[in-house]
Amino acid sequence: MILALVAGGLLAARAMWPRADERIRSPFRRRDLVAELARASIEWPPGARAQARDGDRAYRTAESRRFVRQVGLPPRSSATVLVPSLLAPPGSRYRFELGSATRFRSRFGLDGAEGAAPDTAFRFRVSATNRGRDEVLFTRVVSAGEQRAHGGWFELDVPLPKWVGPDATLELAVDVDTTPVSPAPAPVPVWGAPALFEPDDRRPRRPTVILVSIDTLRADATGPYGARGATPHIAALTADGVTFENAFSTSPWTTPSQLSLLTGLYPSGHGLNRAYGRNLSLAEPGLATLADRLSAAGYTTVAVASDHAVDPELGFDKGFHAFHNHVTQDMADLMPAVRGALDRLTGEPLFLFLHTYDPHAPLFRTAAGAPTRVGRLSVGFHYHTFIDLGPPTEAEVAFVRTLYADHVRYVDARIGELVALLKERGLYDEALIVLTSDHGEELFDRGHYGHGFELYEHQLHVPLIVKFPRGERFRARVDALTSLVDVVPSLLEYLGLEPGNVDGTSFLDVLRGRAEAHRDVAFAEALAWGPERKALRTKRFKYIRTFADAEVRALGLRNGTYDKLLDKTPGEELYFLEDDPGERIDVAALHPDLVARMRALLAAFCERETPQGAPRTRDPAWVAAMEALGYFGGD
């Protein structure tokens, strides 16, 4: 009966979609011109292909005219932004059908301006043609020196004249304005994220959607989940939203769980289920992300991230018009990019994905007057510290937990700044905001510090708070079992959009009082290191299976750093969570029938695994950055 109950939750039909007249639609449709290259009329001058430097690592597609460029932001910033763009060597012409578009927007500038002679200059031009009538809508000369002084590419927003119509074309052109005498490399002009916007007056405006994922935040470290007074700003958000008491991640480390959050797929579905060591796989190329769905619905999609584990090269930039990639453990460093995304809003709705790095190690934030060293530990220690240190003392454990709490308080204050920013711009009331985490953290709950190697509650139980636009009245707290894979289908159903083929199901029926339970089982997998483990969690119990190496197919390279800490003995564990929330007493031997049923259900999950993303040898700089985060740490 238990198996039938669990399987029923896994196979339950998706909640009914809203009627067409209930759906919220966008007043604009964004046409991504980079995606329309196949229909464009293109002229390139002879030799331009070589000038575009196809072999450059920055241009990571097969087409010479289309690329995703990692663009440096202003000086003294560690951030980069990935922008789908059109290469436009001098003499190039791109022509697109205008249709019913009323606005054209793009970035423009010189790729390689940093190493070019400052007087190298190019003229950018935008013009429209309709039935013999031509009009130049925009023209500007940009030199390498001017762009360096500006600190990055320029932005363009051009309203289209009323005389353009369905037969009109838009031309993007670039010509040489000044050719320097010096032998410095010539930069390549670029149109960044060019787009046309077509109005649809029949549709009311969709809300701004903001998805915030706070790295390494365990649920019980926040006020809404029992840490009284610890996170007042997150607690204030719950006053306007819904708190999901039993929300769980799909993996105990960042890369697979974040992609689950953005796709609605378990790691074995999106291709990062074999996320071991330096040969970290790429995501399945055909997957659709939340950004893909919202971009197709007219949203401007922007990501602001602060962790190499959320790497665009792994597929995280899919569907985003701009991906701001920072290397920072300070959410304050992310706020300029967030403000920029909000300030550029004019008509189309915004989807903003914000990933913060606190309270991930190394832990260095301390309260005023607090000690910076206790026993053998000083602030800034990392996970690897405890490999050689041996068991910590009680005072050292308390020090680790205090530093973790200090980091949580810090990021909570930054969440308060984000909410204040939304309120200042009049966006908060009508925004759809989701706040969650990719995974938790073990703080010596079972003798270790860190994450990525176990599937116990402290590494999987995450906060999930959803604030809906003003006027929606849902229950304040929900104890139904939920998973990160449920976020995508729930948001898309609320917006009246089809989620496609996902593993999650919408939880809106529970919020609307049409159902008491949402799902009967949550699935977790994809460890960063250690043995192969998978887990099933219900409201009542947790089942964990550790596989023998002979049972695991196509394992990637393993990292041996944590081998001395982790038990790799194959076997099965069963915990009754109602009586044993700390998962201290394994009762698998006492309930062989239940274990057999869970084993069969887990086998059904494993049969659904997709082919893995192709392993690839990582760039040495990327490996070094991941080692600095504590993920590899030596073999």
Q: Tell me the C-alpha distance between 87 and 67, whole Å.
A: 7
C-alpha–C-alpha distance, residues 300 and 305, integer Å: 17
pLDDT tens digits along 606-635: 776 654 544 444 556 655 665 665 555 433
> What is the phi/psi pair of residue 466, to 5°?
-125, 120
Query: How many of the other CB atoms lie within 10 Å of CB of 192?
Result: 24
CA distance 249 to 17: 25
Beta-carbon contacts of 188 under 8 Å, excluding residues fewer than 6 positions away, are 51, 52, 53, 87, 88, 89, 110, 111, 112
| Separation of alpha carbons 608 and 347, rounded Å | 41
Q: What confidence score (pLDDT) does residue 475 get?
A: 82
Residue 163 has pLDDT above 90, yes or no: no
Quick: pLDDT tens for 228-256: 889 999 999 999 999 999 999 999 999 89
Per the domain annotation, does 567 fall within a domain?
A: yes
Beta-strand relationship, 350-356 and 300-305? parallel
Residue 334 and residue 248 share a domain: yes
Identify the DSSP state of 170.
E
The mean per-residue pLDDT over the stretch 549-554 comes to: 57
Together in a domain, 220 and 166: no
Compute the half-sphere exposure of residue 110: CA atoms within 13 Å on the CB side of its CA: 31
Name, in order, each residue with C-beta under 8 angstroms of 272's C-beta and a sequence gap of 6 or more.
255, 256, 259, 280, 281, 282, 283, 314, 526, 613
- DSSP readout, 435-496? EE-S---EESSSS-EESSS--SHHHHB--EEEEPPTT----SEEEEEEEGGGHHHHHHHHTT
* pLDDT value for 328: 86
Report pLDDT for 619: 57
Residue 76 lies in a domain: no
Q: Mind listing the pLDDT tens digit for each residue in 318-366? A: 889 888 888 888 999 999 999 988 887 766 789 999 999 989 999 999 9
Domain of residue 89, CATH code: 2.60.120
Same domain, yes or no: 378 and 474: yes
Per-residue pLDDT, 248: 98
Q: Are 300 and 351 in contact (CB under 8 A)?
A: yes
- What residues contact residue 295 under an 8 Å CB cut-off, 6+ apart? 30, 32, 301, 319, 320, 321, 351
The model's pLDDT over 18-77, given as tens digits with 9 standing for 90+, comes to 222 233 344 557 788 888 887 889 888 876 543 444 333 333 333 334 444 444 333 334
Residue 205 has pLDDT above 80, yes or no: no
**Domain assignment present for 545:** yes
Domain that holds residue 193: 35-67+84-199
224 and 140 part of one domain: no
Is residue 17 in a domain? Answer: no
Instruction: Tell me how far apart the alpha carbons of residues 605 and 448 are, in angstroms, rounded to a whole number.
Output: 29
Q: Which of 65-74, 268-277, 304-313 has the highest mean pLDDT?
A: 304-313
The answer to whether residues 494 and 293 touch, using CB atoms and an 8 Å cutoff, is no
Q: Residue 300 to residues 82, 321, 341, 362, 489: CA-CA distances in angstroms?
A: 14, 7, 9, 34, 19
- For residue 275, being part of any structural domain is answered with yes
**pLDDT recorded at residue 502:** 92
Is residue 144 domain-shared with residue 242, that is, in the same domain? no
Q: Judging by DSSP bridges, how do beta strands 188-199 and 121-130 pair with one another?
A: unpaired
DSSP string, 97-154: E-TT--EEEEEEEEETGGGS-TT-EEEEEEEEEETTEEEEEEEEEEEHHHHHHHTS-E
DSSP string, 538-572: -SSEEEEEEPPGGG--S--PPP-TTTTTS----EE
What pLDDT, on the 0 to 100 scale, is given for residue 389?
80
pLDDT of residue 260 exceeding 90, the answer is yes
Are 438 and 258 spatial neighbours (Cβ–Cβ below 8 Å)? yes
At residue 124, the pLDDT reads 97
Neighbour-count burial of 37, counting CB atoms closer than 10 A to its CB (0-12 exposed, 13-18 middle, 19+ buried): middle
**Is residue 635 included in any domain, yes or no?**
no
Please state at what angle helix 254-263 crosses helix 487-494, rounded to 10 degrees: 20
pLDDT at 484 over 70: yes
* Whether residue 153 sits in one domain with residue 99: yes
- Strands 169-178, 93-97: pairing is antiparallel
- How many structural domains comprise the chain? 2
535's tokens: 């887990």
| Spatial distance between the Cα atoms of 359 and 587, rounded to a whole number of angstroms | 33
Whether residues 245 and 100 fall in one domain: no
Across-strand partners of 412?
none
Domain end, chosen from 199, 219, 246, is at 199
pLDDT for 526 equals 82
Q: Are residues 194 and 210 in the same domain?
A: no
**Same domain for 286 and 357?**
yes
Closest by Cα among 506, 613, 537, 8 to 267: 613
- Tell me the CATH number at 497: 3.40.720.10
The overall average pLDDT reported for the chain is: 81
**pTM score, whole prediction:** 0.75
Whether a cis peptide bond, with omega within 30° of 0, leads into 362 is yes
Is it the case that residue 564 has pLDDT exceeding 80?
A: no
Does 520 lie in the same domain as 432?
yes
Specify if 244 maps to a domain. Answer: yes
**351 inside domain:** yes
pLDDT band, very low/low/confident/very high, at 437 (cuts 50, 70, 90): very high
Q: How far lies 301's CA from each of 100, 203, 211, 265, in Å?
A: 22, 19, 11, 20
Whether the ω angle into residue 180 lies within 30 degrees of 0, i.e. cis, is no
Q: Does residue 148 sit in the same domain as residue 238?
A: no
Considering the domain architecture, whether residues 565 and 429 belong to the same structural domain is answered as yes
Confidence (pLDDT) at 626: 58
